[in-house]
């Protein structure tokens, strides 16, 4: 199984939207109320593509996962006690894997890609957050050695995010 990861183009917008929709339905069926029709929405994904920050993982031409890599830190991150306060911080957003490809190494491949990207582009650290109610996502980052730095709340009062 060869996973290819490439920068998304305009032709990937519908595939990314379909992937996110499938993931939202799957998470809801698992009792994970992380995303909805407000976040992440089509405008945000289109902006990720326009800004060249969205990457698509494909297996046999099927879009099986996405990740957004940039240096945009949410204002909520200001309350976190980060262990590193460097100038060049890469932030991982919207790491998502199509449900039938989960637990098959796609998320790990996307994080391997993010870590190489950070190294090759002079980033000093990586930051990310994971919905506390999504045990699979939290476990992925913990297995990879990311340290919990704090908890923030985003737009929905019930959604706490663990920052790594």
Q: Which carries the bigger pLDDT value, residue 95 or residue 32?
A: 95
Contact 52, 12 (CB under 8 A): no
Read out DSSP for the chain? ---EEEE--GGGHHHHHHHHHHHHHHHHHTT-----SSTT-HHHHHHHHHTT-EEEEEETTEEEEEEEEES---GGGGGS--S---S-EEEEEEEEE-GGGTTTTHHHHHHHHHHHHHHHTT--EEEEEEETT-HHHHHHHHHTTPPP-EEEE-SSTT-EEEE-
Q: What is the pLDDT of residue 160?
A: 65
Q: Could you state, in order of their start, the residue ranges of all structural domains in the chain?
A: 4-163
Share of the chain above pLDDT 90, in %: 74
Report the predicted TM-score, pTM, of the whole model to 2 decimal places: 0.92
> What CATH number should be reported for the domain whose range is 4-163?
3.40.630.30
Whether pLDDT at 53 is above 90: yes
Whether pLDDT at 51 is above 80: yes
Whether pLDDT at 1 is above 80: no
User: For 97-114, what is each residue's pLDDT tens digit?
Assistant: 999 999 999 999 999 999
Whether pLDDT at 56 is above 60: yes
């Amino acid at each position: 199984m060869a996973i290819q990861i490439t920068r998304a183009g305009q032709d990937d917008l519908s595939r990314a939207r379909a992937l996110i929709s499938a993931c939202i339905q799957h998470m809801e069926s698992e009792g994970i109320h992380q995303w909805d029709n407000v976040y992440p929405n089509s405008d945000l994904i289109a902006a990720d593509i326009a800004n060249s920050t969205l990457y698509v993982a494909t297996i046999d031409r099927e879009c099986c996962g996405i990740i957004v890599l940039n240096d945009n830190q949410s204002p909520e991150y200001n309350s976190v006690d980060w262990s590193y306060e460097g100038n060049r911080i890469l932030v991982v957003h919207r790491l998502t894997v199509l449900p039938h490809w989960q637990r098959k190494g796609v998320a790990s491949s996307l994080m391997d890609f993010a870590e190489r990207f950070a190294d090759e582009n002079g980033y000093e650290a990586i930051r990310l957050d994971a919905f506390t109610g999504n045990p699979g996502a939290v476990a992925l980052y913990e297995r990879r050695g990311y340290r919990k730095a704090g908890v923030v709340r985003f737009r929905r009062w019930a959604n706490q995010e663990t920052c790594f």
